[in-house]
Amino acid sequence: MTLETLLFFLITGMVAGTVGGLMGLGGGIVLIPVLRFGLGFPAPLAAGTTIVVVFFTTVGGALRHHRNGHIVWGSIGPVIGAGAIATLLFSLVFPVLAARPDWIDLGIGLVLCTVGLRMILESRPGPHSTSSPVFVEPGPGLLPQKVVIGAAAGVLPGLVGIGAGAILVPAFRLLLRWPIKVAMGSSLACFAANALVSSILKGTQGYVDFPTALPAGLGAFLGAGLGGKLNLRFPARQLQGVFGLIFTYIALKFVLMSFGIRI
């Protein structure tokens, strides 16, 4: 690998990690279009390589959010456990899906569309919670909800290598009523467990390009810390509209490509 290529993956990973740490996502929604459209990776290899980088992103972002007081460790255990089990199960069927790369592209497109539209909706003017990271558990009886949230969030990392943040952040916000920054930080912590399980399985299955994943992962780890720091300085909502439009456009490219149409 040349120095220029190494720097390219390092910088790409830093951008993905910064966006992921800022928005409470894994960063894969930034990296996977680069691998798929820019470098021409096959869909299964792009998904497997991306989830390894996502692991570094989520660990780096979670560490920063932990320092900021945004992760409710005492409340997310059931989410982590259920998510890891679901990721394991769906990673085991990934080789079957890899035989239909158009399905992977379609799945990625739908995930990106969900993320993009949610960001656009949440960027609208209106009263939004930017409350303090101080967290108060909103009452007992939440174990079933947390298990369901974790299990649902584990499906996408197992199948397409991205997407847990697209489920976790809105679920924490809407179902558990957690403040936005608590939802983002806790999402990264839960997603890290999903990404670790998925990375191990996809690596052993042969769907990871490690010469790409390792420098991009290092950049993602560094960028995620920066993103978490930026999250503390200003509301991530200020950028959600812009990123939402970008991700929606990229989602359209993935969906159309799954039908053999390139734009």
CA distance linking residue 131 with residue 126, whole number of Å = 15
CA distance linking residue 148 with residue 141, whole number of Å = 13
CA distance linking residue 70 with residue 65, whole number of Å = 5
Count of CA atoms in the C-beta half-sphere (13 A) of 262? 4
Cα–Cα nearest to 70, from 214, 236, 251: 236
Query: Region 54-73: what's the mean pLDDT?
Result: 89
Query: Region 199-214: what's the mean pLDDT?
Result: 97
Query: Region 234-238: what's the mean pLDDT?
Result: 63
pLDDT at residue 94 above 70? yes
pLDDT at residue 135 above 60? no
Tokens of 237: 């909502």
Give the tens place of pLDDT for each residue, 143-155: 899 999 999 999 9
Which residues neighbour 152 within 8 Å (Cβ) at sequence distance 6 or greater? 86, 167, 171
Q: Measuring CA to CA, how many Å separate 174 from each of 177, 180, 208, 241?
A: 5, 10, 35, 19
Q: Three-state SS across 4-42?
A: HHHHHHHHHHHHHHHHHHHHCCCCHHHHHHHHHHHCCCC
Give the tens place of pLDDT for each residue, 19-52: 887 776 778 888 999 999 999 999 999 999 999 9
Phi and psi, residue 2, nearest 5°? -75, 165
pLDDT for 234 equals: 63
Which residues neighbour 163 within 8 Å (Cβ) at sequence distance 6 or greater? 26, 28, 111, 115, 156, 157
Q: DSSP character for 176?
A: S
CA distance linking residue 225 with residue 21, whole number of Å = 7
pLDDT at residue 240 above 90? no
pLDDT at residue 106 above 70? yes
Other residues' Cβ atoms within 10 Å of the Cβ of residue 148: 15
Query: Sorting pLDDT into bands at 50, 70 and 90, what band is 255?
Result: very high
Positive or negative, the Cα torsion across 206, 212, 215, 217? negative
Cα–Cα nearest to 191, from 68, 92, 51, 69: 51
Q: Are the C-beta atoms of residues 157 and 32 closer than 8 Å to each other? A: no
Phi and psi, residue 234, nearest 5°? -155, 155
Tokens of 19: 């966006």
Q: Measuring CA to CA, how many Å separate 250 from each of 108, 211, 227?
A: 10, 25, 21
Query: Region 154-175: what's the mean pLDDT?
Result: 90
pLDDT at residue 237 above 70? no
Q: How far apart are the first and last CA of the chain?
A: 30
